[in-house]
């Protein structure tokens, strides 16, 4: 609703001027002079804009009696007029000033006028006159007969007229029916001499917008009033009254969402239109947004022109999931408001973001439906109404300036989101919404998205648009339309930090930046970025050394990568990188020594010792980011290699002693099976221990300093000469295989 009508609603009181009836016995010269004086005075009279300037004191009291059941609001305006311009005697010529008309501003739907002079009850003529450039108000111009002269003293008049109930979508400002009343109340008169009263049945729930009215109740009526109004021209409160019990409700199910549309009793078309529009729009909107219906409650859509009184087409209330929209059948408004079920403070923290998304998604939905609508015009950032969107809060007062700011705010919000949607497309925008809805971090690493901030404010939105949505225009759009002067410095710092971040990512090869840095970026904590990048570079330098050490070994990736990428703090990772380098060197040395077999006795000594598995453990420790366990396993390998020759000799001696014991073979083999099987299972299971488990203790049975699980007599029996020597098959060197597949 435009607010411009308010400025011109004030009455202009017409003045009249004429020569006095007493003409001196004088020549034409005086008469001509008098005539010039008349023209000059008349010009002054036409310029009068308020009664105090014109010398007509005007006391006014307007009473509105709202009675929708009778189909009418009855209005009476009591006027007390006093001509304060004294008669002037100019050399025997008496100049008198009188007033012949007074024009009272009324709503243009006013009808059934009558005027009397209350002193004697005689009727006067009243005529309706248009107010230039104002479609909502007209003048009721009263012909003052007889005219009002100075000598009359105060004279009282009563203007009465009716405001018939106005139907939905009538081209008038007021509305009245059993469920709803909206009525601007105003009058004009001298400051401090003007009062207004409104009476309305107390079954209505009454609000007053745009001006204060005292409230009391009497005889089943709510009585609202203001006396001695200081600035009558600007005092135009709107009485908004609802009686929801008289709304006519229809409910439908839209894709499992219960929708209740509650319309005025005289407006079934509205319910048809709302339900039809929502039915068409709902699946398209849900698909575009990509998030399920977010509310638990049913959707309540209420017909009310209360938003119009505040200057809006409609509004959405998160509590109760209710949409209030006026009687105009505007699909863009309906879809815009329902999209606020998603686009509200649960999803985005800033008003402009939610408004921009709501408007964009409403427009996109209607585009896909092929439904005509009136799109917003792009904003003009050079206009006087332009504000940065981060300054666009809820309006506190309803004046011309805030109305213009509101209009600009809606247009600019939509424009920013619309430009980005055109750039990256609705699929990418859906990703942005998804990341915001699931509180996922804006700066992604190799691990799955970590948790980000729970509230997506304009800063996080910018990050998501660029990092998740791939936008290249968002920052410049934000710079131009969104950020305040103070926030420009944050954008500049961000740009610098992002360049450093991108450079680090570039020299990290296939490693993603660490969480510690990604979180600083996501939190806009740019002051610590350089120091964190320095720590990251220290880790990357260690990585280069580690990769050099491990070149040619069986290790094809190092778990330090995961540690680094997911670390919330890099100080520990620098330590871990040092430890990984040491573990890598230990592994390389152990593997090289193991590969260069320690001779026959050494090989026999290594049988069933699990040394190859320990080497595999050392490798796994590196691969899984557990350098401590890796280093311990490498040390074990070294120690077993140290002891291998001695153990080989012991085993060989024990094996020869057992040759004659063929009768006991079966029993021995059974016992061995019972012993060996659990060892193998244990070894395998170790490989699958998750990252960051404490290093398991070495099983005492495998320590080379103690007897192996099988005493020397349990070395696989030697078959009689000529038989296949199945027990002597050496253990496979492949570390992933069991000690031997032949034993069991
Ligand atoms: Zn909105």
What distance in angstroms lies between residue 392's CA and the mean position of ligand 1's atoms? Answer: 13
Cα gap 443→565, rounded to integer Å: 12
What distance in angstroms lies between residue 337's CA and the mean position of ligand 1's atoms? Answer: 6
What distance in angstroms lies between residue 178's CA and the mean position of ligand 1's atoms? Answer: 28
User: With pLDDT > 70 as the criterion, what percentage of the chain qualifies?
Assistant: 78
Query: Could you report the per-residue pLDDT of 210-225, keeping only the tens digit for each?
Result: 889 999 999 999 999 9
pLDDT for residue 10 is more than 70? no
What distance in angstroms lies between residue 357's CA and the mean position of ligand 1's atoms? Answer: 9
Cα gap 441→447, rounded to integer Å: 11
pLDDT for residue 331 is more than 80? yes
Taking residues 601-629, report their average pLDDT.
Answer: 84
What distance in angstroms lies between residue 269's CA and the mean position of ligand 1's atoms? Answer: 23
Domain ranges of the chain: 4-244, 546-728
Superfamily grouping for domain 4-244: tricorn interacting facor f3 domain (2.60.40.1730)
Cβ burial of 529 (10 Å; 0-12, 13-18, 19+) is buried
Apex CA 547: angle with CA 544 and CA 552, to 5°? 150
Interhelix angle for 515-522 vs 485-507, to 10°? 160
Cα gap 628→507, rounded to integer Å: 28
Sign of CA dihedral 51, 56, 61, 63: negative
Cα gap 289→432, rounded to integer Å: 10
pLDDT for residue 743 is more than 50? no
What distance in angstroms lies between residue 328's CA and the mean position of ligand 1's atoms? Answer: 16
Beta strands in 311-392 (DSSP E): 314-317, 322-325
Query: Could you report the per-residue pLDDT of 487-542, keeping only the tens digit for each?
Result: 999 999 999 999 999 999 999 999 999 999 999 999 999 999 999 999 999 999 99
State both tokens at 184: 């601007």
Cα gap 79→220, rounded to integer Å: 28
How much of the chain is in helix, strand and coil states, percent to nearest 5?
45, 20, 35
Distance of CA 517 to the CA centre of its chain: 26
pLDDT for residue 8 is more than 70? no
Taking residues 50-60, report their average pLDDT.
Answer: 72
Q: What residues pair up with 212 in beta bridges, in sequence order?
A: none
User: With pLDDT > 90 as the criterion, what percentage of the chain qualifies?
Assistant: 63
Q: What residues pair up with 75 in beta bridges, in sequence order?
A: 64, 161
What distance in angstroms lies between residue 99's CA and the mean position of ligand 1's atoms? Answer: 51
pLDDT band at 596 (very low <50, low <70, confident <90, very high): confident
Cα gap 296→257, rounded to integer Å: 9
Apex CA 27: angle with CA 22 and CA 31, to 5°? 55
What distance in angstroms lies between residue 375's CA and the mean position of ligand 1's atoms? Answer: 14
What distance in angstroms lies between residue 358's CA and the mean position of ligand 1's atoms? Answer: 6
Cα gap 691→620, rounded to integer Å: 10
What distance in angstroms lies between residue 543's CA and the mean position of ligand 1's atoms? Answer: 52
Taking residues 392-411, report their average pLDDT.
Answer: 76
**Nearest of 105, 93, 170, 169 to residue 134 by alpha carbon:** 105
What distance in angstroms lies between residue 310's CA and the mean position of ligand 1's atoms? Answer: 14
Q: Could you report how far apart the first and last alpha carbons of the chain are, in Å? A: 89
Cα gap 681→191, rounded to integer Å: 98
């Amino acid at each position: 609703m435009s607010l411009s009508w308010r400025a011109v609603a004030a009455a202009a009181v017409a003045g009249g001027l004429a020569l006095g009836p007493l003409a001196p016995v004088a020549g034409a010269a005086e008469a001509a002079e008098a005539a010039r004086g008349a023209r000059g005075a008349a010009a002054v009279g036409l310029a009068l804009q308020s009664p105090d300037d014109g010398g007509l004191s005007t006391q006014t009291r307007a009473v509105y009696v709202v009675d929708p059941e009778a189909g009418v609001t009855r209005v009476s305006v009591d006027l007390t007029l006093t001509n304060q311009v004294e008669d002037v005697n100019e050399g025997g010529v008496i100049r008198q000033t009188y007033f012949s008309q007074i024009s009272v501003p009324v709503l243009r739907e006013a009808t059934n006028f009558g005027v009397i002079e209350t002193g004697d009850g005689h009727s006067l003529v009243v005529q309706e006159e248009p107010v230039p450039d104002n479609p909502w108000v007209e003048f009721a111009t009263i012909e003052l007969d007889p005219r009002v002269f100075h000598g009359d003293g105060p004279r009282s008049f009563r203007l009465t007229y009716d405001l018939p109930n106005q139907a939905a979508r009538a081209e008038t400002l007021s509305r009245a029916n059993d469920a709803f009343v909206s009525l601007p109340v105003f009058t004009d008169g001298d400051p401090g001499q003007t009062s207004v009263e409104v009476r309305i049945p107390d079954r209505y729930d009454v609000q007053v917008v745009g001006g204060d009215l005292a409230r009391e109740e009497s005889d089943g009526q709510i009585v609202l009033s203001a006396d001695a109004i200081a600035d009558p021209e600007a005092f135009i409160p709107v009485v908004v009254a609802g009686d929801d019990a008289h709304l006519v409700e229809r409910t439908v199910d839209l894709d499992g969402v219960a929708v209740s549309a509650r319309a005025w009793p005289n407006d079934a078309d509205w319910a048809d239109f709302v339900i039809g529009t929502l039915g068409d729009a709902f699946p398209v909107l849900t698909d575009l947004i990509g998030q399920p219906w977010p509310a638990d409650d049913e959707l309540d859509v209420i017909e009310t022109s209360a938003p119009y009184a505040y200057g809006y087409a409609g509004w959405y209330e998160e509590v109760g999931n209710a949409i209030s929209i006026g009687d105009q059948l505007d699909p863009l408004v309906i879809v815009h408001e329902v999209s606020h079920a998603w686009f509200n403070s649960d999803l985005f923290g800033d008003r402009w973001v939610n408004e921009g998304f709501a408007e964009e998604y409403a427009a996109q939905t209607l585009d896909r439906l092929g439904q005509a609508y009136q799109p917003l015009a792009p904003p003009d950032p050079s206009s006087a109404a332009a504000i940065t969107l981060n300054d666009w809060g809820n309006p506190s007062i309803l004046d011309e300036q805030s109305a213009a700011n509101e209009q600009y705010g809606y247009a600019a919000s939509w424009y920013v989101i619309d430009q980005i949607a055109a750039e990256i497309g609705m699929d990418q925008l859906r990703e942005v919404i998804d990341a915001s809805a699931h509180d996922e971090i804006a700066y992604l690493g190799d691990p799955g998205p970590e948790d980000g901030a729970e509230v997506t404010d304009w800063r996080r939105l910018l990050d998501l648009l660029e990092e998740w949505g791939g936008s290249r225009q968002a920052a410049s759009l934000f710079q131009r339309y969104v950020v305040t002067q103070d926030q420009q410095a944050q954008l500049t710092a961000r740009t610098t930090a992002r360049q450093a971040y991108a450079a680090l990512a570039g020299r990290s090869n296939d490693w993603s930046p660490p969480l510690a840095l990604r979180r600083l970026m996501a939190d806009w904590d740019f002051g610590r970025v350089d120091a964190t990048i320095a720590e990251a570079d220290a880790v990357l330098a260690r990585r280069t050394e580690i990769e050099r050490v491990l070149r040619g070994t069986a290790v094809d990736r190092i778990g330090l990568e995961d540690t680094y990428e997911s670390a919330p703090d890099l100080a520990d990772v620098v330590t871990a990188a040092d430890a990984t380098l040491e573990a890598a060197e230990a592994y390389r040395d152990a593997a090289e020594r193991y590969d260069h077999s320690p001779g026959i006795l050494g090989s026999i000594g290594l049988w069933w010792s699990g040394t190859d598995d320990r080497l595999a453990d050392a490798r796994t420790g590196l691969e899984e980011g557990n350098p401590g366990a890796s280093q311990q396993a490498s040390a074990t390998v070294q120690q077993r290699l140290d002891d291998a020759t001695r153990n080989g000799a012991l085993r060989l001696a024990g094996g020869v002693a057992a040759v004659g014991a063929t009768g006991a073979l079966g029993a021995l083999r059974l016992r061995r099976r019972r012993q060996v099987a659990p060892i193998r299972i244990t070894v395998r299971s170790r490989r699958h221990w998750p990252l960051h488990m404490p290093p398991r203790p070495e099983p005492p049975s495998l320590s080379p300093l103690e007897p192996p699980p099988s005493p020397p007599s349990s070395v696989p029996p030697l078959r009689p000469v000529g038989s296949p020597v199945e027990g002597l098959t050496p253990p496979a060197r492949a570390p992933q295989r069991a000690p031997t597949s032949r034993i069991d």
